[in-house]
Amino acid sequence: MNRPVVTLGEAMIRLSPSGRASLEQSDLWEVYVGGAEANFAVALARLGMHVQWISKVTRNPLGKKIVGKIREHGVDVSKVIWTDEGRVGIFFAEPGPLPESWMILYDRKGSAMSHVNPEEVDWESVRNARLIHLTGITPALSEGCLKVVERAISEAKKGGALVSFDTNYRAKLWSAEEALAILARLLQGVDLLIASLRDIQALFKGGEDGEVEARKLYSQFRPRVVVVTLGEKGALAYDGERVYQREAYPTQVIDRIGRGDAFDAGFVYGYLTGDIDKGLMYGNALAALAQTRPGDLCWFSQDEIHGLIQGTFRRISR
């Protein structure tokens, strides 16, 4: 129980126009820290779990801002690889006219993390983990990142750690064909396979029925659990015997970026402290709350999650 949850990936600086202005229109910018694995780490640490985030970061004010912000939430950043080379990745997020529509522009080429290699990582931390969480973003960044993810899965298995993997497909980083060729190999070694129905449709040419697609993925990769997120319809999971499903919690959408990472953290927390059904309950709750505040990181606590689940969340707090 004292073994940490470890995650490995890149964090970046996010710039968003103030208010709901467009990138072209705005003269004022809001600055956030974000990245799938870092978002996951922060959300899980705020639930009280020991979480360690591993990355490679440029030793400059932007890199220090990223690491400091992640540390602020209780995440262990002691295994971050610091470098004087490369750069900090940046991305721009523009809210669209609809709550679900956002445009993302990346400026991350040549980032420090994209130059990581397996020899730089402290693999003892991964072997000592209770679970390691990975996503399909990291292997898309470079050949070195792919090798690090492959090694991470191997080292986790050596130490008896569970492997959680979110496909997290990014069409701006690689094609569906490229992603599928790599992910089909990586997913053979995972215990918790998480994918949005949208990712399944893009990568595996799946249909509209989440349960059918979960069964297909389970048959192909044989993880302990397949989890399929369904957007506003919630999420479901299949463990080879039973289908579990939980509806989404309705909340106001302010900023949807990082919502999937919050779901992953909630599911992992619920699964490790309970079972699959608790994982779906916490995943949906944390995802719902995450989209109600600006920025990628999830700032919610156990009490607030319990309030949403129990229907008592801040009706009027005086």
Residues classed as catalytic: 261
What is the b/e burial string over 159-169, where b = at least 16 CB atoms within 10 angstroms of the residue's CB? Answer: bebbbbbbbbb
Query: What is d(CA 57, CA 278) in angstroms, rounded to the nearest whole number?
Result: 35
In 117-261, DSSP assigns E strands to: 131-135, 162-166, 192-196, 225-229, 235-238, 243-246
Query: What is d(CA 228, CA 154) in angstroms, rounded to the nearest whole number?
Result: 25
DSSP letter (8 states) at residue 118: G
- The amino acid occupying position 244 is Y
Q: CA dihedral defined by 184, 188, 191, 192, rounded to 10 degrees?
A: 10
Strands 12-17 and 29-34: antiparallel
